[in-house]
Amino acid sequence: MSVHGAVDLRFDLSGIGLALGGVPAAAAPEVLRRWGAYRSEAPIEELLAVRVAAGSWAVDRTRPFAPKAMHARFGPAEARFDMDDGRARVGPDGRAWVELAGDLSERAPFALMNLVRACLAWRMPSRGGALLHAGALVVGGRAWVLAGREGAGKSTWVEQGRRGGAAAVSDDLALVDGAASRIEVVGAPFRSDLVAPYARGRWPLAGILFPVWGPEPVLAPVARAIARARVAANLPFVERAWGVDERLPGLVDRLVSEVPCLDLTFPPTPAFLALLART
């Protein structure tokens, strides 16, 4: 629905509801190009409901778009995220407000999507879940995530897995849900690769993997303390909330307690798929 040049959009992220109200009409096509496979007209309980508005400040558009320069502030009951192009505030009831700088033009949808991802990352621990900096593949009906920062090999791992017949869920950000009795990876549009088809779905999380380059595929267990630190370091947008947000230690403890955490040594080929399939 469009009102005064704004569009209201609703998304079903495989059972996780996301509503965006007041999306600038000029930004909506790019948002739908990237997230449209998850658009929903059916009612769904919203974990995050975002109201979008125009801010009163302008940005220097000659400066490069810098989403990684986002600044986050956390309190006991809310989070705030600020970047040159916009800012967001999200509360414990899932209501969020996003302001976008004036005259962003083609940068507006990307600023909006980045701020929404940040708000969702803060909301997910409320249901025992997280947004992980990880690639995700489905092998034999089970999901595996490969966690790591930029340059760790996530995209290569996902691409090789896809070439070998696995289903690619994400090449960059994996949405993990802990609301049910088991921890699941859920289909969501948060990835940089738009080639593979999107699909709603839920898959049990078989393991959290950490990448190691090597000539042959090998899995090796990771000590719990090390796994805990690595998982905590791969919680984008909220990693600095550690020590402020009391939900995070319990979330990480549950992940490393209920899900095997393993080093995966692999070459840039699909050979690791057979190892995952029989593990």
User: What's the residue count for the chain?
Assistant: 279
- Give the domains, in start order, of the chain with CATH numbers: 2-127 (no CATH), 130-277 (3.40.50)
Q: What is the pLDDT of residue 183?
A: 98
User: What average pLDDT does the segment 234-257 reach?
Assistant: 96
Residues 255-272: pLDDT tens digits? 999 999 999 999 999 999
Q: Contact at 8 Å (CB) between 132 and 145?
A: yes
Residues 3-20: pLDDT tens digits? 457 999 999 999 999 999
The structure's pTM equals: 0.94
Q: Contact at 8 Å (CB) between 253 and 128?
A: no
User: What average pLDDT does the segment 95-106 reach?
Assistant: 89
Residues 46-93: pLDDT tens digits? 999 999 998 877 777 777 777 778 999 999 889 999 999 999 999 999
- The CA-atom distances, in angstroms, between 158 and each of 60, 171, 193 are 36, 6, 10
What residues have CB less than 8 Å from 229, skipping those under 6 apart? none
Q: What is the pLDDT of residue 150?
A: 82
Q: Contact at 8 Å (CB) between 249 and 140?
A: no
- Joined tokens for residue 130: 């997280």
Q: Within a 10 A sphere around the Cβ of 183, how many other Cβ atoms?
A: 21
